[in-house]
Amino acid sequence: MSKEIIERVEKILPDFDLKLVSQGAEALVFVTEKHPYLPKDIKPAGLTNVNNFIVKYRPRKPYRHEKLDLQITKSRTAGEAKLLYKLDSLNIKAPKLIALDAINGIIWMEFLGFRLPNGNFSSLKNWLWFIEKKGESEAIGQLAKDVMRLVGYAIAELHLNEIVHGDLTSSNIVLVKESETEEKYSVALIDFGLSSYSNLVEDKAVDIYVLERALVSTHPQFSELYNEWLLEGYHSLYSEKKKINAWRDVERRLAAVRLRGRKRSMLG
């Protein structure tokens, strides 16, 4: 099925060299070196990477009625594009929107991140695995602490603007180089396909809990510290904005969500 989907997107974009980088239940993500409308000798301004671009494609679902499927695909694609535009206007680090083809389920966006020395993409998951292989002193060193606090801070920026990510895993968080000469990073959130506007404390707590569980799953040896630093960063922005009561609400609800999660695990 995936081969048919890839062939379909290649027909929609016949003049683009597309490299598949990830495939989920809702979308396929490609990298291309060609901008959707600028010639190759003109580089776009305001982007971190002017040589690579992300193409996200939502394929049609054959089990849905054709007209309904078109409507859903168009709506969800346009909704994600609008959210990316909103995040940019709020100065929240996420891929910038470049172009939209809602009818065909395609979003063009900024490519964020870089290749680690081992060749892997700089998702939080890959970066933590990379430093963990260097030994415990690196895995729980000051740089790891700083990065995890930045992650928490970035999530708090979303939540304080009443936006929930909906799929917060360490694969959907990306490290971006801030310096070519030293290990200095910023953190960006990606993949907002399941995101929504919400002022519910429950939704914010679930967002954090999903990431906590992802870290436990992929980095079990050091996840307790990573999650502690994550919450330190999250709390720090609430403190900066003098939203201590709001933080306490999230903290209390997060404890309740964790308890529900443990009960589900015990019951199987």
Residue 185 in contact with residue 177, Cβ under 8 Å?
A: yes
Q: Is 167 a catalytic residue?
A: yes
Both structure tokens of 197: 């506007």
In sign, the C-alpha dihedral spanning 61, 63, 66, 69 is negative
Indicate which residue of 15, 41, 101, 167 is catalytic: 167
Both structure tokens of 69: 């499927």
Q: Residue 127 burial by CB count (10 A; 0-12/13-18/19+): exposed, middle or buried?
A: buried
Instruction: Determine the angle formed by the axes of helices 223-240 and 201-218, rounding to 10 degrees.
Output: 150
DSSP3 helix / strand / coil % (the chain, rounded to 5): 45, 15, 35
Q: What are the strands, taking DSSP E only, across 138-177?
A: 163-164, 173-177
Three-state secondary-structure class, residue 39: coil
Both structure tokens of 117: 């020395």
Say which DSSP state 123 is in: B
What are the φ and ψ backbone dihedral angles of 138, each rounded to 5 degrees?
-80, -40
Say which DSSP state 62 is in: T
Q: What residues act catalytically? A: 167
